[in-house]
Structure 1
């Protein structure tokens, strides 16, 4: 029997979901332990979520303020995965490795900038000027 996308061996149903949840937990723990940027972004998120709940006037505003900040976390996780993969391949300097790491970092920067812009767009009009 051939193994292809449709008949992949392994866990099925609830067992697969539980295994996937465990892998995700392990990934979060690894990121927390090994990635200072991830820890900083989690702490920053924890600090600004209450601010979003206070500053947003409508449920939609609150949701948008929280979502744009939380969206940075999966980008950072993907960046960390890229960095770990590149580091696993080899320690020697290679132009493609640099591009991979730099573009992953750029993705995080774009996410942070987008969050900043959304916060500005929602909160600046409310300032008593």
Structure 2
């Protein structure tokens, strides 16, 4: 017998509940996630200072949120691979490496976006002139 799927507000409630459980699990079990969250009180105010438009602000903050998102997906992938079995397998190692690479690429995209916004707003010229 198939379980009855929730609909409407009840579905929204349970989806939110499970999402928050996932965020709590990432916080509790993943040091990298905690480090990235710890950076938010610094980078979010910096984004408001650096951005000169709403679009720039959205780009800067979105990159930070994407890093957290990719970290959660990577952690989920690692948990599934670890659950499957403790023995080494080339495909398991490849999956974990690719998940880590996705986080790495997102981190690189983040600093590139931040540097481009800083350059576009003339902040890099100010730094260069002071050297």
Note whether the superposition's TM-score is higher than 0.5: yes
Question: Aligned pairs, how many?
Answer: 124
Paired position in structure 1 for 2:37: 42
Q: Which runs of 5+ in 2 are unaligned?
A: none
* Deviation by residue 1:18-70 (Cα, 9 ceiling, x = unmatched): 01110001100000000000111111123201000011112221121111121
Shift, 1:77, TM fit: 0.6
Query: Which residue in the other structure is 2:6 paired with?
Result: 11
- Does residue 28 (structure 1) correspond to residue 28 (structure 2)? The answer is no
Give the CA RMSD over aligned residues: 1.4
Deviations 1:85-111 (A, max 9, x none): 001011101001001100000000000
Candidates 17, 25, 47, aligned match of 1:52: 47
Q: For 2:6, what is the secondary structure of its paired residue?
A: coil
Give me the TM-score of the superposition, normalised by structure 1: 0.90
Matches within 5 A, 1:24-103: 24-103=19-98
TM-score by length of 2: 0.88
After superposing the two structures, state which structure 1 stretch, 10-19 or 33-42, moved more: 10-19
Q: Does 1:110 align with 2:105?
A: yes
Structure 1: 4+ residue segments shifted above 4 A: none
